[in-house]
Homo-oligomer: A and B are copies of this chain.
Amino acid sequence: MTSPLTHHTTPDNQAPDELNRQRAAVAALGRELRALVETAVRTTAEPETLHRVADGVRSLARQLTGRRRAHAETPAVDEFPGGVRMYSPVTGPGSPLAPPVHVTPVEDGVAGTCTLGIAHEGPPGYGHGGMSAMLLDELMGWACTAAGMPGMTIGLQLRHHRPVPLQTPLHLSARVIGTDGRKIFVAGSITTDDDRSATLVSADGTFVAPDPDRARALFPSLREET
């Protein structure tokens, strides 16, 4: 479920086997949590059942004892910048919020595939408009990285042409269309996988590659070599 763009990366402090076992376990828990989330937002169960399950959820959380990573600490299973983000709320196999989007390089940028669940619903039967923004913001960031210019979003303009269906395979695409100094201009779109000619949402974004001083100020945990 990790992106083929990046799954070969290995943080220095872990043996590849150990890292792969850890990532697989993070992804397994992410998968079950996504299924539980989807079940929880669809069930019509009685209050007694919901309270009993809530108690069970609280007990499970208590089993995840031991150290928690600190605020702004990069997870040991991740590579930042430009690498695997196991807990990304868009692409992360370990994130219960992510569809997750699977990203692949294509000739002129990056493509993504995902299916939104009822947990991502805005208007009945359709994805939340902000969820489309989230998908495109992330994929357009990947397009910058794929072009060798990792950057942060400074502007994003979205146009919603048609509502985005839930429970339907989607196709996302993004590509760098120009640069101006540290600024990177990116275009992106969402269609269904079945009909790639009918654009559901399109976007233009401006990203900026932070200069090294700004990057260190924003991300104190950033490794020195980056």
A9 lies within 8 A of chain B by Cβ: no
Beta-carbon nearest neighbor of A18 in chain B: B47
A15 lies within 8 A of chain B by Cβ: no
A106 lies within 8 A of chain B by Cβ: no
B166–A160 CB distance below 8 A: no
Are A129 and B153 CB-contacts (below 8 A) given A63-B53, A167-B71?
yes
Query: What's the least CB distance linking A188 to chain B, in Å?
Result: 11
A-B contact pairs, 20 of them (CB 8 A): A28-B50, A28-B54, A32-B61, A33-B36, A40-B64, A41-B94, A45-B64, A56-B63, A60-B60, A71-B166, A72-B125, A73-B124, A87-B119, A89-B119, A89-B131, A97-B97, A97-B120, A126-B218, A133-B133, A133-B158
B36–A60 CB distance below 8 A: yes
For A96, the chain B residues whose CB sits under 8 A away are 37, 40-41, 96-97, 119
A163–B56 CB distance below 8 A: no
Give residues 61-94 of A contacting B (CB, 8 Å). Answer: 61, 63-69, 71-76, 80, 87-90, 94
A6 lies within 8 A of chain B by Cβ: no
For A25, the chain B residues whose CB sits under 8 A away are 46-48, 50-51, 54
A60–B63 CB distance below 8 A: no
Give residues 167-208 of A contacting B (CB, 8 Å). Answer: 167
Query: What's the least CB distance linking A163 to chain B, in Å?
Result: 6
B167–A160 CB distance below 8 A: no
